[in-house]
Amino acid sequence: MPATTIENEPLLESEYQETDASSSSSSLDLQVSEKGHHQYQCQTCGTPTTQPSSSRRWWWVKFGVAQLVLILCYTVVSLAVIQSTVDTESVPDIHAFAGLAVRYKFRLYDNFVNSPYGGEPTPASDAAWHTLLNNMSVRVTAEELAAHGQTSVPLPGGGYLAWLGVFHELHCVKMLRQWSWREHYFPNMTAHDHMHQMVHIDHCLDWLRNAAICRADTSALAVFKWDPRMPHPMLNTHRVPHRCVDWDALMSSHADRLVSHDEVRDLKNPILKAPAVKGEEKGGEVTKGDVGIEALGR
């Protein structure tokens, strides 16, 4: 029987199975050619046949593995870039001291038309500001100061005097309000007093500018409207929700640290020099270094 070569199609294993026990069988030897193809050698006919399907399977396996490796590399690089961005653009949420309840909620800003903190000075508005700033002085430890790289004035009852940063800002808002009504709050002001207060006012303006930039309220939009009396767009002061700290919770969380007004009044400056005549300090000039906390008692 002449040898038959099957080309272009894979041989089925059943074609080589023995069908008749009495007939002469043809055994096949599996050989691997130099090109990597599987060849079946028919021992009776001596003609090799090629089965390319195995090579194709291996090619697809290699291709799949390569794709998985590429996806893994892409994922690792992407995560590294994201982590690098997060590390660069964010910082830990650090508070002034332990125990502060800092949580957020959305609320409307107070309507300035009816706000007890604005308008012409009245006993009611002064009382509102006194209540708002009544609990501004707190007691901190030396370790808490050291954690921020700071020092402060020791208190008679132990610990050190401090404010939360928000009270510095509120103090400045109050000073700007008083300056707006300086005829009421600073009557009979001398030229030196005026100069001193202007340094304080400039300090407060720039402090509040920094605070606004630092916290950057991005929870709401400021929008505009037309007014028939104005040629240019006007800011629309319609109130919308803002993401705000829960003020009551924050105040309650450090009530045990509050320093009484009596303890603050008992503080005595151990390095106080004899006061000079007004207008003669530093040649009659007031510098930005003169801004202190004399307004604690206001």
Q: What pTM was estimated for this model as a whole?
A: 0.65
Q: What is residue 84's predicted lDDT score, i.e. its pLDDT?
A: 54
> What's the alpha-carbon Rg for the chain, to the nearest Å?
42
pLDDT given for residue 16 in this prediction: 39
Per-position pLDDT tens, the chain of length 298? 444 444 444 444 444 344 443 444 444 344 444 444 444 444 444 444 445 567 777 777 777 788 888 888 777 766 765 665 544 455 567 899 999 999 999 999 999 889 999 999 999 999 999 999 999 999 999 999 999 999 999 999 999 999 999 999 999 999 999 999 999 999 999 999 999 999 999 999 999 999 999 999 999 999 999 999 999 999 999 999 999 999 999 999 999 999 999 999 999 999 998 765 444 444 444 445 445 554 454 4
d(CA 33, CA 197): 97
- pLDDT score of 88: 43
171-186 pLDDT, tens per residue?
999 999 999 999 999 9
End-to-end CA distance of the chain, in Å?
Answer: 120
pLDDT at 11: 42
- The model's pLDDT over 24-48, given as tens digits with 9 standing for 90+, comes to 444 434 444 444 444 444 444 444 4
